[in-house]
Amino acid sequence: MRTVESLAVSAARLETSIGAGSTPQWRRHLDAPRPRDWYVPAWASAPSRSAGLSPREWDVLALIITGRSDRVIAARLGISPNTVHKHVTTILDKLGARSRSQAIAVALDLEALGSDREAG
């Protein structure tokens, strides 16, 4: 069994070998500055891009667009259906939508198509 002193010596050696105060490569990757919307899909409309959806909410929205149920989305993402339901509620709120269909219309900018058709 290692003593506290031997662990401290090992830690000091490790720090010396990688450089004191050095940031590990994986941490530099995580800390690297990224654009605010680095995780926003290319198909997202301007209004949906500015809604502030999280990466997981974009995952859920993409599956909503394909017509999947909460249960199927949960299975695909490895989360509970209740968590999916909470994500859907948050997505609807952030997009200012009252239904999944309206959220899809906002995300894909289909509302603009509808207003063009009405005007034409």
Please say if the pLDDT value at position 19 is more than 60: no
Please say if the pLDDT value at position 1 is more than 90: no
What pLDDT is stored for residue 44 in this prediction?
93
Which parts of 4-120 fold into alpha helices (H)?
A: 4-18, 25-31, 46-49, 55-65, 70-77, 81-95, 100-107, 110-119
What pLDDT is stored for residue 117 in this prediction?
44
Banded model confidence at residue 116, pLDDT cuts 50, 70, 90: very low
Please say if the pLDDT value at position 80 is more than 70: yes
Q: If you search the block for the tokens 């450089």, which residue do you land on?
A: 19
* Fold classification of 46-119 (topology level): Arc Repressor Mutant, subunit A (1.10.10)
Banded model confidence at residue 15, pLDDT cuts 50, 70, 90: low
What pLDDT is stored for residue 39 in this prediction?
82
Ranges in the chain annotated CATH 1.10.10.10: 46-119
